[in-house]
Amino acid sequence: RKEVEQDPGPFNVPEGATVAFNCTYSNSASQSFFWYRQDCRKEPKLLMSVYSSGNEDGRFTAQLNRASQYISLLIRDSKLSDSATYLCVVNSMDSSYKLIFGSGTRLLVRP
């Protein structure tokens, strides 16, 4: 089983739609969780951290469910510029702080 799993998509949605991505992780002791965004042929960039209580940044809401070991990202009022691949990321538990990536979910927002 992969350490971090995501639905690869693509999710094809119209502008203004609400879209949600889920991600599951296998190590129940994991403590740090993130969503990254990767544009085509570019490096991944940190979108937001995911906190136990859930957190929001503008149109983006991230949630963590420790009992079920999944993380979610909700995007409201989708924009064309949201089209990208969204990567779910978990930090390793040791001092290496390794970032363990899911394979990503591709989002296409159409006019």
Partner 1 sequence: SQTIHQWPATLVQPVGSPLSLECTVEGTSNPNLYWYRQAAGRGLQLLFYSVGIGQISSEVPQNLSASRPQDRQFILSSKKLLLSDSGFYLCAWSSGQGGNFGPGTRLTVT
CA distance 11 to 54: 23
DSSP 96: T
What are the CA-CA distances from residue 25 to residues 14, 18, 48, 58, 80 (Å)? 29, 24, 17, 26, 29
Q: Of 22-30, 59-67, 70-78, 90-98, which segment contacts partner 1 by CB under 8 A?
A: 90-98
Helix (H, G, I), strand (E, B) or coil at 8: coil
Positions 25 through 64 that interact with partner 1 (CB under 8 A)? 32, 34, 41-46, 49
Q: Is 71 in the site for partner 1 (CB under 8 A)?
A: no
Closest distance of CB 99 from partner 1, Å: 5
Identify the CA nearest to 33 among candidates 42, 23, 43, 45: 23
- Name which of 32 and 72 has its Cβ closer to partner 1: 32
CA distance 37 to 27: 23
Q: Is 91 in the site for partner 1 (CB under 8 A)?
A: yes
Q: Of 19-27, 55-63, 64-72, 96-104, which segment contacts partner 1 by CB under 8 A?
A: 96-104
Which residues of the chain form contacts with partner 1 (CB under 8 A)? 32, 34, 41-46, 49, 87, 89, 91, 95-104
